[in-house]
Amino acid sequence: MTKLDAAYSYCTQVTKREAKNFYYGFLLLPKPQRHAIYAVYAFARQCDDVVDKEGMTLQERVNQLHQLREELARCLAGQPEGPLFTALEDAVRRFSIPHEYLYQLMEGIEMDLRIKRYQTFQELERYCYLVASVVGLICIEIFGYRNGEVAKQRAADLGIALQLTNILRDLQEDMARDRIYLPQEEMAVMGWGEEDLRAGRADHRFRRLVWLQVERAKEYYRRGLQLLPLLPRRPRACVGVMAAIYRRILEQIARRPEIVLEKRVALGTAQKVALMGMELAKSFLAGTA
């Protein structure tokens, strides 16, 4: 096994272990694209882990992210260190991924160190763009796409849709880290606040608040899914699977909002495999992009 093969193998294992939803979509990609996505995911995961790692002071987290930023700079200059950055350097060079995307992704992840509450949706939307839309923009550079700026906007929309779904799904988990992503002004309008969240009060105020988030996410999905016809067939199926998994999660939350206060909503392996088959068939029946 070459050094590069070992580097990609490392990133594959990270993705398989951590990205239980995305991994099933990635399997539909040709190997070079799949490996590049794994490298990008592993990089984002490492940044996330620094932010969420327990037993570290804020300054220690800031220092570690600064170190990662320096390692990224060396990587992008063609001097990668370690398996993660060896794979990432190859992926960036092979698919001409704009360097600014990787720095923007780090900027978004770093926001979790500084910002625990978002007053308005406009503020939250910026965060979602940096941590999720930027990933979508990286992905389409790897996939290939047509219709330039339109495809980029639709990829950004889909990223926000996925992140809004994550926010609802992870409500309790984020609260345990003292993070609330639901816009504060919308919580205030509904009359449902942090004490209600901590107490797990799933009353009519909470349901109205969740439905507002669900309807917003649905609109981003509506726009984001317009990306699919602009992608080649196999990446189209990949994106279709990921979107379908998260839309199913959103549907479960819409049917029973209180579920997010009880447990983390997830699909079973059989459901994910079935969605893979459906999206692959739809993609190939639709023809080339």
Q: Of 82, 139, 79, whose CA–CA distance to 105 is shortest?
A: 139
- Please tell me whether residues 26 and 153 are part of one structural domain: no
Report residues of the chain scoring pLDDT below 50. 288-289
Phi, psi angles (nearest 5°) of residue 117: -140, 150
Last residue of a domain, one of 54, 83, 113: 113
- Residue 21 sits in a domain of what CATH number? 1.10.600.10
224 lies in the same domain as 146: yes
SS3 59: helix
Q: Supply the pLDDT for residue 238.
A: 85
> Looking at residue 120, what is its pLDDT?
98
Token pair of 167, please?
């926010």
Same domain for 158 and 260, yes or no, is yes
Q: Which of 47, 78, 113 is at the close of a domain?
A: 113
Task: Report the first-to-last Cα separation within the chain, whole angstroms.
Answer: 35
How many Å apart are CA 251 and CA 95, to the nearest integer?
35
Looking at the chain, list the stretches that DSSP marks H as alpha helix, in order from N- to C-terminal side. 3-18, 22-26, 31-52, 58-76, 82-95, 99-114, 121-128, 134-143, 148-169, 171-176, 184-190, 194-199, 204-224, 233-255, 269-286
Q: 195-224, pLDDT tens digit by residue? A: 999 999 999 999 999 999 999 999 999 999
What pLDDT is attached to residue 265? 77
Same domain, 203 and 154: yes
Task: Tell me, yes or no, whether 124 and 193 share the same domain.
Answer: yes
> Are 276 and 134 in the same domain?
yes
- Residue that terminates a domain, selected from 72, 89, 113: 113
Same domain, 103 and 174: no
253/265 Cα distance (integer angstroms): 8
Task: Enumerate the β-bridge partners of residue 1.
Answer: none
Structural contact between residues 37 and 27, judged by C-beta atoms closer than 8 angstroms = no
- Residues 128 and 270 placed together within one structural domain of the fold: yes
Contact partners, residue 15, CB within 8 Å, separation at least 6: 22, 23, 26, 37, 38, 41, 42, 45
Integer Cα distance of 87 and 113 in angstroms: 27
**Do 23 and 106 fall within a single domain?**
yes
* 34 & 147 share domain: no
pLDDT at residue 276 in the model: 59
Residues 128 and 95 in one domain: no
Closest by Cα among 210, 169, 197, 186 to 120:
186
Domains identified in the chain, total number: 2
Domain that holds residue 14: 1-113
CA distance linking residue 55 with residue 123, whole number of Å = 29
Instruction: Indicate if 177 and 230 belong to the same structural domain.
Output: yes
